Amino acid sequence: MSESRDYDVIIVGAGPAGMTAAMYAGRSMLKTVVLERGASGGELLNTEIIEDYPGFEHIEGWELAQKFESHAKKFGAEFQQETVITLEKMPDGAFQATTDSGTIYRSKVAIITSGGTPIKLGVPGEIEYAGKGVSYCAICDGAFFRGHTIAVIGGGDAAVEEADFLTRYAEKVYLIHRRDEFRASKILQKRLFENPKIEVIWNTLVDEVQADAQGLVHNLVLRDANTHETRNLAATGIFIFIGFRPNTGIIEGHADHDEMGYLRTDMNMETSIKGLFAAGDVRVQLTRQVTTAAGDGTTAAIAAEKYLAAMRSPSDEPVISGSGGYAV
């Protein structure tokens, strides 16, 4: 028989957004549980060094993750290592998170901060050298490659735009694309082709990422998409931008989203499902950084507390803002 546990707030995902939301929910004296399938940290655990989070000029990703978790726990947030299979709003208005362990978590409001997953190349060396030359974030890691020769993989807006951005640091940027034309917008392509630091390698795939004796990336094995001939490309970094998939598939019922699956929210992080808030990489926004995730988590938790207060005092209706959200 399944075990059922009741809370005021369920938070799905223990990245920066989820842990910040947990801290603020705890400060509001709400009984809060954070459900995370692995170790707390999200994409922080895939980033070796962080230098763009205020107050920390230089900190390792895992260490910052531990600080986030410890701070949230200090205010009473509970963390459970659980894989959420579905998150749905039940007929009685409560939210129910069903996990693969069979445990059911119920709450009055829910915050989804399950992040997103960069699409991988799936080649040898990619996973092994993540954070040691392999990156999925130019803004996060570009400064570590000052004066280096690097490669960018992809052909869409993200790849073309980030290749141009990375020339601020790198001496030389190769943009490797498997086809003979880009999908990126024309204005981005124009800027790219006018940049003397960028060389485009067409009709080419990456077969392998290789590292030196210290475990740092130093070479890529490339394969011609037409002739299948292989060659080496000396590079100390590889930035992969072939797509990003938000982890929103657990939501049962329709939540408004864009064509890529990112959740649309109002200014208070509330989705089109009343009482379901979203924060961090799962929602539509301009940029996805640790700082923006933490800001989203703050807003979501405070808005959730206002939502619960309105449930307790129906005569005290909060001001409606945007697409059905509650003003903070």
Q: What is the DSSP letter of 53?
A: B
157 labelled catalytic: no
Say which of 8, 137, 157, 207 is annotated catalytic. Answer: 137
52 labelled catalytic: no
d(CA 119, CA 227): 26
224 labelled catalytic: no
Using the CB atoms, write b or e for 24-33: b if 16+ within 10 Å: bbbbbebbbb
d(CA 325, CA 319): 8
- Show contacts of 293-297: CB within 8 Å, 24+ apart: 293/15, 293/16, 293/17, 293/20, 293/113, 294/16, 294/17, 294/20, 296/17, 296/20, 296/113, 296/269, 297/16, 297/17, 297/18, 297/19, 297/20, 297/21, 297/22, 297/24, 297/111, 297/113
d(CA 119, CA 135): 12
Q: Which two tokens stand for residue 260?
A: 């890529």
Spatial contact of 242 and 175, defined as CB atoms under 8 Å apart: no
Say which of 52, 100, 141, 212 is annotated catalytic. Answer: 141
Spatial contact of 270 and 277, defined as CB atoms under 8 Å apart: yes
Say which of 8, 52, 92, 140 is annotated catalytic. Answer: 140
Report the SS3 class of residue 107: strand
Torsions phi, psi for 192 (to 5 deg): -65, -50
d(CA 28, CA 36): 22
Hey, which residues are catalytic here? 137, 140-141
